Amino acid sequence: MNIMGHLQQLGRSLMLPTIVLPAAAIFLCLSALPWDSFGMPSIHTHLLTAGQTLFAFLPYLFALGVAMGMTSNSVTAGLAAMAGMFIYTGIINASHYELEPTVFTGVIIGIVTSILNEKFKTIKLPEYIQFFGGPRFVPLIVSVFSTLWAIIMVQIAPSIHNALMELGDIVNSGGGFGVFLFGFVLRILVVFGLHHLVSHVFWFQVGAYQAPDGHMVFGDLPRFFAGDPMAGGFMAGLYPTMMFALPAIAFAIIHEAREDLKPKIRKTFMTAALASFLTGVTEPIEFAFLFVAPYLFVIHALLSGLMMWLTYELGVRTGFSFSAGAIDYLINEHLATRGWLIIPLGILFGLIYYVMFRWAIRRFRIPTPGREEGSQLDEWAGDIPYRAPLILQAIGGKENILQMEACITRLRLKVGSDKLIDNNALKHLGAAGVIRLGGGNVQIVFGTYSELIREEMNKAIRRDISRVLFCSPVQGRMMPLSEVPDPIFAGKLVGDGVAFMPEKGELVSPVLGKVIHVYSSMHAIGIRTPDGLEVLLHIGIDTSQLKGQGFSAVVKEGDQVKPGQLLITFDMQKIRKGSKSLATPMVITNSELVSSWSFAPFKSVKRGQASVMSVVLKERSGGGETA
């Protein structure tokens, strides 16, 4: 794995421990209620303790999360990291220095554990001590590392403590400009999924605060929840962007959509706007214009940094436990300083964004969703189990996947060959964008459905079933068979499948198989797959009467063909004039062999585009289970 691959995996791993922070924020918020008036004074203490405990054990959570995230959820690595943290904490607590484990400590132990796990999990020792070999060796070697590191840290504790204090002073000396740079870089790194690397440093390491009970707290986020009135400068400015600016972009995209596509786009982007406003999940909106207008994304990043600078200079100090959405804003407002300014600033910021994006989309004719067919970000949560096999094929099949993980908004993949990934097919199936980081490391942005997609893809990989996947035989628009203007095909009397309205006079093979029949008029062709499915491709309706005029077959009966291979060329103008319709059905004539069907969205497709249809064969003698 290359450096970018390591970094994207580390970025995802750093997110895992933060999923507990919303619980801590809720407990702290509830502890502020007047429990004495309710006759339950002890509840305040219990809730406060619950919230503070999660922050106190953050180093342990980061050690566990990073170790497991970097090793594909290895339980052994997680156990070894926790053992290492216990040893480290025990040794430094026994020293006379006031040195406490920080999140940085947890991250280091987690990273080292993942490295040692990969290196020693298969180690073989002499037979008489092989009990300690293999995975059992990992906790042992991690314990040795943690012991040595703790001893070293005790010796250099005063220097480390002072260095962290000075680092906070240096960052704070940058004032608003430093916050601006943080905000700008944070948005840019969202593109590569590496934003957690920079945010982790500022939110969990930079700056120190001595809590009332005497212990030191490091990082903007823990300091904010510990009651530091100066904390929150690296978080407050994100609220206007996520609660107002990104939803404003969504509204601009809706209002600039074509009238015929506007209802669908409105539904999709209203959902995306609500997700950004409430939870701070922004990728579905940002990726809607990132690839078609990257210069707009740079401007967006600059404006986001400027908003952070402005809130900092106005003395707004507020924070969040997970992300800068309205839910976190309401929960944590009682701890904020001048937090009320977020609302008017956000409204003004949102208006600027709305006007700017509507003008740019119209002025530069930016193909944002809804301005052309095949718009991204389709609404298809209920279809995930059916589309997962199609997504799997678009990635290059299970053989191409070396590693697959998911964070909140994207699949993070390590593939054997990124050349096998079909970008058009993935966008057709709902992906907002595909990011290639090199070395086989790929990110596919599916929004908040990413984890569900990963689960369904894993199920599809584990199932022992016979599945046949189809590519698009033409360039054009995919349509249900019922819309074909012919009662024979529409009634599925010939077989079941889909149809296409071609835009170019080329027919290619949708599957791997053998040509079993080429009609003398060359308007249709039959292919048998290795699984025994018989696929009929019929160009146009009532085209047999043309007696071959306008058609030219490139293959003959008995030829072996593969997906995307040219079969027939045809003159669209001649066929349009001499036939009832150009609608081209693709049907399985022996569909009694099929157990279940999956279809991609009925919209524009490219010739040879992967993943337009998937079928599962019925169980045969000695075969697998049916779906």
Q: How far apart are CA 255 and CA 259, in angstroms?
A: 9
Q: Which of 152, 8, 14, 140 is nearest to 79 (CA)?
A: 140
User: In which element (H, E) is residue 403 found?
Assistant: strand 401-406
As a whole number of angstroms, the distance between CA 25 and CA 41 comes to 20
Nearest to 312 by CA among 204, 235, 244: 235
**Best-predicted range by mean pLDDT (175-179, 307-311, 328-332):** 307-311
Residue 604 main-chain phi, psi, to 5 deg: -60, 140
- 8 Å CB contact between 248 and 354: yes
C-alpha dist (Å) from residue 457 to 138, 394, 406, 440: 31, 12, 11, 19
Pairing of strands 496-502, 584-588: antiparallel
Spatial distance between the Cα atoms of 63 and 607, rounded to a whole number of angstroms: 48
Domains and CATH numbers, the chain: 3-226 (no CATH), 237-364 (no CATH), 383-465 (3.30.1360.60), 469-613 (2.70.70.10)
Q: What is the mean pLDDT of residues 286-292?
A: 78
Active site residue 407: yes
What does the block give as tokens for 547?
A: 């007696």
Which pLDDT band holds residue 376 (cuts at 50, 70, 90)?
very low
User: What per-residue confidence (pLDDT) applies to 167?
Assistant: 62
Query: Active site residue: 70, 316, 394, 407, which one?
Result: 407
pLDDT at site 125: 82
The predicted-structure confidence for 89-110, as pLDDT tens digits, reads as follows 888 888 766 567 778 888 889 9
- The CA-based angle 188-262-407, given to 5 degrees, is 35
Q: Mean pLDDT for the chain?
A: 85
In this structure, are residues 326 and 307 in contact, taking their beta carbons and an 8 Å threshold?
no
| Residue 553 parent element (H or E) | strand 551-553
Query: pLDDT grade, residue 326 (50/70/90)?
Result: very high
Establish how many alpha carbons lie within 13 A of residue 415's alpha carbon, considering only the half-sphere containing its beta carbon: 26
Note the pLDDT tens digit of each residue in 24-55. 778 877 887 888 888 888 888 888 888 888 88
| DSSP characters over 170-202 | HHHHTHHHHHHHHHHHHHHHHTTT-HHHHHHHH
List pLDDT tens digits, range 118-136. Answer: 899 888 888 778 777 888 8
Band of residue 188 on the pLDDT scale cut at 50, 70, 90: confident
Q: How far is residue 153 from each of residues 46, 61, 102, 478, measured CA to CA in Å?
A: 34, 20, 12, 64
User: CA-CA distance, 596 to 619, in Å (whole number)?
Assistant: 11
pLDDT band, very low/low/confident/very high, at 382 (cuts 50, 70, 90): low
Helix axes 75-94, 103-120, angle to 10 degrees: 130
Q: Which amino acid is at 171?
A: V
Please report the DSSP string for 81-97 in residue order.
HHHHHHHHHHHHHHSSS
Contact assessment for residue 55 and residue 24, using Cβ atoms and an 8 Å cutoff: yes
Strands 584-588 and 534-538: antiparallel
Rounded distance between C-alpha atoms, residue 603 and residue 606, angstroms: 10
Give the 3-state secondary structure of residue 492: coil
**Rounded average pLDDT over 296-324:** 92
Main-chain dihedrals φ then ψ at residue 299, nearest 5 degrees = -60, -40
Output the six-digit token pair for 162: 């002072």
Amino acid at 555: V
CB 235 within 8 A of CB 199: no
Higher pLDDT, 319 or 30: 319
Q: What mean pLDDT do residues 510-520 have?
A: 94
